[in-house]
């Protein structure tokens, strides 16, 4: 009775009358705004850094994958003239004249390279063709540019080449993305697969996928028992062992790789041991490095800590009393592990697998060093296009596809964990 009466006369905390409520709300918002601004100020340096060093390059890469700007800019007169051409037969004399003028200007301004390289990817022999064409451009022709150009090189009479040039003068292009998927646009505009001798990227993407999945699987296989042990040991011992786990992080990449070469090469420690034990004959030494096996072994070694750490932190948070409870309730140790322990480690398993997989998909240096020819991954070809062939558009397209793939995996992961996201303990 007493308590009931007291409760009735007390004003409820949530109920304030109109004016007062508005004022309180206003004060609340003002105080929130200050907190919000402070939080923003704290993360601002990082945000700016990320925007400049990560966001901007990312956008540049993505635009490069679809942009044709350079080509159209150098041949701007030609592109205007070509706009009126319907794509059948050879273009008009005006197109040839503008093209000659553009080429001459490009030659003088030394911007020919952008035209040559773009055209060379699409048209075999375009480099020498352009070289041959530019030289005699200094003198005015007698019967018009069209005749002169075709005379210099018969290719200029081929409408397909002009279709290609017209396509290249468009501001945006899908050719890099098509090339990244081993596809090309035929002269008639239809999309077709490139010949088997040129198709390499899909194979590389698929290899990257299965190698990454295999590395993640191997890491899980090796890391799970170890993490279980670490989580169970007293802190002093587990700290020592954890140092050993982290050792790969602290060792120089080159030292690590060299050690793998010493161990795995044909005349290396492991092969010699196997031969000595008589398990392998002298002539049949296993090729363990400079192929996909080498890539798998070295990447598993490097990425193992990324599996163990999330597993360990999740396992550490599972009190031993759960397994004990399962045992006391009559479950065999295997049932207790399978039905009680394992389900609780799933967040760690998923986090570790995702992390290793995503890192492996983008891994570059290890496959480059120990992968040989068959152990190269997609990142190696991206690097090749960035540094050697200078086809940045294609590199951008390959990179974008990789990014989309990783985002897809992450989305899938989020669905699997029911939106919990990455849990690092």
Partner 1 sequence: MAAVAFENVSKTYDGKTSVVDNLNLRVREGEFLSMLGPSGSGKTTCLMMLAGFETATSGEIYLGERPISRVAPQRRNIGMVFQNYALFPHMTVAENLAFPLRVRSFSKADIAPKVKRALEMVELAHLGDRLPAQLSGGQQQRVAVARALVFDPNLVLMDEPLGALDKQLREQMQYEIKRIHDRLGLTVVYVTHDQSEALTMSDTVAIFNFGKIQQLAAPDEIYETPCNSFVAQFIGENNMFSGTVCERSEGFCKVRLANGDEINALAVTDAPVGAPTLLSLRPERMRVDPPAGDDWTITTGEVIEQIYVGDHLRVLVRVFGHHEFVVKMQNRSAGNGLTPGQKIKLGWRASDCRALDAAAGQAGAA
Binding mask 139-158 for partner 1 (x = CB under 8 A): --------------------
Tell me if 28 contacts partner 1 by CB under 8 A: no
Closest separation between CB of residue 326 and partner 1, Å? 7
Q: Which of 62, 183, 286, 331 binds partner 1 (CB under 8 A)?
A: 331
Closest separation between CB of residue 329 and partner 1, Å? 4
Residues of span 272-311 touching partner 1 by CB under 8 A: none
Burial of 138 (0-12, 13-18, 19+ CB in 10 A): exposed
**Which lies closer to partner 1 via its Cβ, residue 243 or residue 325?**
325
Q: Token pair for residue 346? A: 């799933």
**Which lies closer to partner 1 via its Cβ, residue 101 or residue 318?**
318
Contact 226, 245 (CB under 8 A): yes
Short-list 304, 289, 293, CA closest to 251: 304
SS3 172: strand
- Which of 77-85, 292-300, 335-343, 389-397 is the region at the interface with partner 1 (rule: CB under 8 A)? 335-343
Tell me if 232 contacts partner 1 by CB under 8 A: no
**Which lies closer to partner 1 via its Cβ, residue 68 or residue 345?**
345
What is d(CA 38, CA 299) in angstroms, rounded to the nearest whole number?
42
Contact 79, 93 (CB under 8 A): no
Closest separation between CB of residue 233 and partner 1, Å? 15
**Which lies closer to partner 1 via its Cβ, residue 126 or residue 340?**
340
Q: CB 364: neighbour CB atoms within 10 A?
A: 14
**Which lies closer to partner 1 via its Cβ, residue 3 or residue 190?**
3
Short-list 232, 246, 410, 265, CA closest to 402: 410
What is d(CA 21, CA 15) in angstroms, rounded to the nearest whole number?
8
Contact 211, 377 (CB under 8 A): yes
Q: Which of 40, 269, 329, 408 binds partner 1 (CB under 8 A)?
A: 329
Element (H, E) at 382: helix 378-387
Phi/psi for 196 (5° steps) reads -60, -25
Tell me if 351 contacts partner 1 by CB under 8 A: no
**Which lies closer to partner 1 via its Cβ, residue 210 or residue 338?**
338
Angle, CA 149 vertex, CA 123 and CA 160 arms, to 5°: 35
Closest separation between CB of residue 417 and partner 1, Å? 13
- Which of 34-42, 148-156, 332-340, 384-392 is the region at the interface with partner 1 (rule: CB under 8 A)? 332-340
SS3 308: helix
Closest separation between CB of residue 344 and partner 1, Å? 6
Burial of 121 (0-12, 13-18, 19+ CB in 10 A): middle
Tell me if 330 contacts partner 1 by CB under 8 A: yes
Tell me if 420 contacts partner 1 by CB under 8 A: no
Closest separation between CB of residue 422 and partner 1, Å? 19
Tell me if 192 contacts partner 1 by CB under 8 A: no
Contact 333, 342 (CB under 8 A): no
Q: Which of 11, 196, 234, 319 binds partner 1 (CB under 8 A)?
A: 319
Tell me the CA end-to-end span of the chain in Å, nearest whole number.
49
What is d(CA 108, CA 126) in angstroms, rounded to the nearest whole number?
19
Binding mask 195-214 for partner 1 (x = CB under 8 A): --------------------
Closest separation between CB of residue 346 and partner 1, Å? 8
Closest separation between CB of residue 409 and partner 1, Å? 24
């Amino acid at each position: 009775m007493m308590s009931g009466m007291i409760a009735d006369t007390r004003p409820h905390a949530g109920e304030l009358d109109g004016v007062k409520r508005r004022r309180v709300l206003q004060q609340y918002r003002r105080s929130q705004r200050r907190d919000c601004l402070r939080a923003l100020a704290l993360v601002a340096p990082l945000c700016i850094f990320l925007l400049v060093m990560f966001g901007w390059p990312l956008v540049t890469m993505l635009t490069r994958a679809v942009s044709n700007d350079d080509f159209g800019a150098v041949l701007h007169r030609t592109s205007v003239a070509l706009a009126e051409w319907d794509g059948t037969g050879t273009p008009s004399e005006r197109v040839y004249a503008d093209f000659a003028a553009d080429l001459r200007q490009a030659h003088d301004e030394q911007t020919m390279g952008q035209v040559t390289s773009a055209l060379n990817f699409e048209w075999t022999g375009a480099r020498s063709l352009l070289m041959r064409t530019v030289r005699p451009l200094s003198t005015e022709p007698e019967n018009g540019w069209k005749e002169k150009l075709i005379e210099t090189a018969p290719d200029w009479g081929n409408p397909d080449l002009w279709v290609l040039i017209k396509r290249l003068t468009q501001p945006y292009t899908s050719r890099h993305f098509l090339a990244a998927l081993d596809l090309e646009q035929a002269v008639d505009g239809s999309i077709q697969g490139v010949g088997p001798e040129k198709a390499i990227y899909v194979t590389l993407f698929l290899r990257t996928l299965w190698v990454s999945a295999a590395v993640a699987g191997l890491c899980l296989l090796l890391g799970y028992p170890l993490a279980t042990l670490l989580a169970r040991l007293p802190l002093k011992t587990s700290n020592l062992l954890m140092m050993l786990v982290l050792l790969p992080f602290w060792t120089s990449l080159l030292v690590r790789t060299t050690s793998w070469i010493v161990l795995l090469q044909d005349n290396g420690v492991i092969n010699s041991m196997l031969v000595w034990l008589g398990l392998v004959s002298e002539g049949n030494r296993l090729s363990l490095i400079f192929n996909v096996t080498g890539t798998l072994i070295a990447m598993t070694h490097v990425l193992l800590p990324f599996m163990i750490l999330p597993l360990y932190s999740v396992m550490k948070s599972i009190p031993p009393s759960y397994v004990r409870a399962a045992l006391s309730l009559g479950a065999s140790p295997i049932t207790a592990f399978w039905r009680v322990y394992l389900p609780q480690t799933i967040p760690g398993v998923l986090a570790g697998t995702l992390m290793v997989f995503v890192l492996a998909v983008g891994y570059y240096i290890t496959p480059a060093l120990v992968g040989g020819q068959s152990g190269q991954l997609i990142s190696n070809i991206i690097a090749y296009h960035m540094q050697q062939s200078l086809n940045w558009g294609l590199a951008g397209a390959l990179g974008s596809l990789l990014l989309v793939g990783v985002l897809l995996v992450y989305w899938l992961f989020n669905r699997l964990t029911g939106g919990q996201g990455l849990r690092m303990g």
